[in-house]
Amino acid sequence: MKKVIATTAAPGAIGPYSQAIDTGSFVYASGQIPINPATGEIPEGITAQTKQSLANVCAILEAAGLTVDNVVKTTVFLSDMANFGPMNEVYGTVFTEPYPARSAVAVRELPKGVLVEIEVIAAK
């Protein structure tokens, strides 16, 4: 069973993919970049961009009837590992113990030239 999760409280997909897929046991959310869904704007700086990316993740989780407490795995993509510290500070204000498993990797570039993209897997 595969159910699409979609909400206008997070940016719409900008390609042939879903914001998230509910498999019955898990919700797999696509990577969220820091686009404000109300304005279409991208905030400046890694701190503001991390906050917006996580707000988008939270909106998708809410649409699935979940919260960050359901998240079991995250992947954080950074355009520059020099931004890891500030990203990690914001990340630590959203997730609490027991923290989800996490990977954080630097990539050459991200869509729309953003600094961060965050994807999650949540257990139901």
Each residue's pLDDT tens digit, 10-53:
999 888 999 999 999 999 999 999 999 999 999 999 999 999 99
105 is in which domain, residue-wise?
3-123
Mean pLDDT along residues 90-98: 97
Let me know if 112 is exposed, middle or buried by CB neighbors in 10 A (0-12, 13-18, 19+). Answer: exposed
pLDDT for 44 equals 98
Q: CA 13 → CA 51, 59, 87, distances in Å?
A: 19, 14, 23
Average pLDDT over residues 94-103: 97
What pLDDT does residue 13 have?
87
pLDDT number for residue 65: 98
The pTM assigned to this predicted structure is 0.96
For residue 101, which phi and psi values (nearest 5 degrees)? Answer: -60, 150
Number of domains in the chain: 1
Q: What is the pLDDT of residue 1?
A: 82
Confidence (pLDDT) at 15: 87
Please tell me the distance from the alpha carbon of residue 79 to that of residue 64, in angstroms, as a whole number.
29
Q: What pLDDT was estimated at residue 14?
A: 80
* Confidence (pLDDT) at 99: 97
Provide the CATH number for the domain around residue 103: 3.30.1330.40
36 closest CA partner among 6, 62, 50, 56? 56
Q: Distances from the Cα of 94 to the Cαs of 25, 54, 111, in angstroms?
A: 23, 8, 23
Read off the pLDDT of each residue in 93-110 and give the average, rounded to a whole number.
Answer: 97
